[in-house]
Structure 1
Amino acid sequence: MTKVLLKNAKVVNEGNIFETDLLLEGDFIARMDKNISDDNANVIDLEGDLLLPGIVDDQVHFREPGLTHKGTIATESRAAIAGGITTFMEQPNTNPQTTTIEKLEEKFAIAANDSFANYSFLFGGTNDNLEELKRLDKNACSGVKLFLGSSTGNMLVDDEEVLEKIFSSTEMVISAHCEDETTIRANMAKYQEMYGDDIPIEFHPTIRSTEACYLSSSKAIELAKKTGARLHVFHVSTGKETDLFVNSIPLKEKKITAEVCIHHLWFSDEDYAEKGTHIKWNPAVKTKTDREQLWKALLDDRIDIVATDHAPHTLEEKTNPYTKAPSGGPLVQHALLAMLQKEQEGLIGLEKIVEKMCHNPAILFDIDRRGYIREGYFADLVQVGRNCRNEVKRSNVFYKCGWSPFEGVTFGSEVVRTFVNGHLAYDQGLFSERKNAKRLTFNR
């Protein structure tokens, strides 16, 4: 069994920052203590760098199968570990869509061979696959995904009777994309009449409006309360929506939870003039006030998780006119660095970053022995160097699509090393060719 001894780590874990050594044996953290020695271990001196639990990203689109010109499980998981993300949950709007158990297992087979990071997938609910969803074992995957607003690969669920049956028929977490389709279509028709296909990008948050988001989120929450379903609202983008969530009970006891994504915490509508369709997402990036209110809700625990919604498209696709430019962008390589930048600016603490990006996804999805630095847990770990100048350039991104919305940004931190199940998967810009990723298991 391979042993690795990490010396002089500054661990951020469970609300504390402390110095320790860690002994890794095989896939697991065997021991945490000061002044550990082991003559049979490969010793790595972290020299006081931060050591975080591996980031758990509950929402990514890695585009495989069917959309592999944009990205693959191999390319995007490789970029993820370069960004400190050791576990991902991939979405069902691929081609074919992940809406049968057979297609779900086909994805798991691809990941078992190709993924650099630990993996699970969400099963897609549709207007006509309720019986298949009922057959799905609650431990088979990370959860169920519903699109209550259309997005890439249109899987819109708009039959209210079916929707209530889905909410009533599964014990799994239901993760929902909440935007009201009727509102969006009416707004789109108005602006297409004015501008044709070349609608100015700054109208994107007007078309995919606050009202569209709030109407859909509030309806989903009302339905979850009625049925007792376990609902997780993906990528909350408006300040108004944050009032729908509570912070008065522990996460483990919450039946209704929420997530915010990196782009909604970083960008605002003022950035459309420079970034254009490169920051076109669904839901849309909205105002500075919305961004401030999202940060407030994140810090006071109404919002539970920070994720990426990593969704790559080629530059050629993104530079199309508004109506033809797809929504989404690549984020996994720089998500942790973006949050650490906000920590360096004094907006959030290291402990809170780890809570929202590591601990809480593990709690919310009942993930087995991940998301924490604990003896007996899988050794998913990220070494972070500080006080550096780390500029994002097109030449140093690892995404298959070859670009980043953070190009030109200089971060003050860098991911030095990433361990996946005790294996040094990423080391100072170099990747191990040996993959040690595992399918997630759950305690449900």
Structure 2
Amino acid sequence: MPVFPFPFTPSGPMSPVTTKPWSPTSIPSGPMSPIPSGHSYGFIGAYDVMRGKSPGTYHNRTDADLLPYHGGITIKIAPSGTKYTNEAGIVSASPFGHAWVEFQGESIGWGLGDDKRVGGVDNLTFRDSMAYDASKVVSVTYPLYSENVVGNIERYISELKNGNFDNDWANFSDFKENYNLLTNNCIDFVNSILAVTEADNDAHYLDYIQPLHGLTPDGIIHLLGLDLNQVKEIIEQHINEFENKETPLVIDLTGDGITTIAENGNLFFDHDNNGIIESSGWIESNSAFLVWDKNRDGKINNGNELFGNNSILKNGTKADHGFAALADLDDNNDGIFDQNDSLWNSLELWIDANHDAITDSGELHKLSESGISSINLAHKENGFKDINGNIHGLESTVNWDNGNVTKIVDVYFAVDKNKTIESVTSHIDIVGVNDIFSEVIL
């Protein structure tokens, strides 16, 4: 007889991701000031392009006098909060916004790699134009009249694709091979391409396109009324906050939402599989951890037996988050984890009834006997930080046999790694897998 869910009244569909509405005042005015979302400037006329060193020479010329042009380059800008759909079809909202270019029919940009650590070629992106919500993207296209400038842009992009970021011939660009939110971001990448238009130009710099003024960190500082040190502190605080989080999947059992417990030095768990238990945020007993007792000792020993950023995947690497860890067990790749997947009967729900972060007798319940029929792997960003300092980072839905639907959330627990206890019972699982990944070998 199913023991879950406890009686509840469904709270309705998941609330949408909250994003900051975009308006034309979001970016300083000037040559690149935006127009309503989803519109394009089209081609900028020759007079607008001539913002170089001697524009006055052409003051009586028309665009027709300057044709034919030999190509064009389009700058695309997605404001913060713009929806982004990755290759797996998962939709999220861009927290900082994005900028990229289209050149010769190709979308090319600069961002974090899939594992958020890589640099170089792996940071190049080629699907931004299809991935970002076009209705929110602002674009401007510049004609290029010089074949030499077009050729230089071709060469610059080609060398980046081949991993050559030391372009000595492009001495006007100091773009580096590693992504950095402050000093080498997507805007710097676009500006490095625009800088190429300064070389091999005509005497009047007709093809020279100035960098994105107002979209650089200086523009952000101007908008927020902050100095550079304040901006750095805000960004570094944001990065550090997420570096000190551990992310297990948590299932709402009652429909009342997931309630967490603050990190306060009273609850300790070995999230990062190193045999040392650290002070951690936790959950109340109206929710449950989705777990996999890999060594079959009847206990959940560490983060590798939860589903989160410390789960070891089939390929031996750590998952980025809980949904990625669970998706690794989706045998038929249908985006749903259910009885059709081989490890359905191996997973359990851990209800820590006494909130001690220790698996006591009676706290583990078979997922297959819980009343849950399926878990949806397609997820969205939430980012809600609750009053206990834990972030409800990613969320999706759980379907129950009785027709009810509740949330499953990748909760980013606050963890203080300076408050630790050497664990006697906690230990590192040395995990290997057989060919069908259905048996853990210790």
> Is TM (by shorter chain) over 0.5?
no
Task: State the TM bucket, normalised to the shorter chain.
Answer: under 0.3
TM normalised by structure 2 equals: 0.22
Structure of higher CA gyration radius: 2
- For CA contacts below 8 A with separation 6 or more, give which structure has more relative contact order: 1
Give the alignment's TM-score, normalised by structure 1.
Answer: 0.22
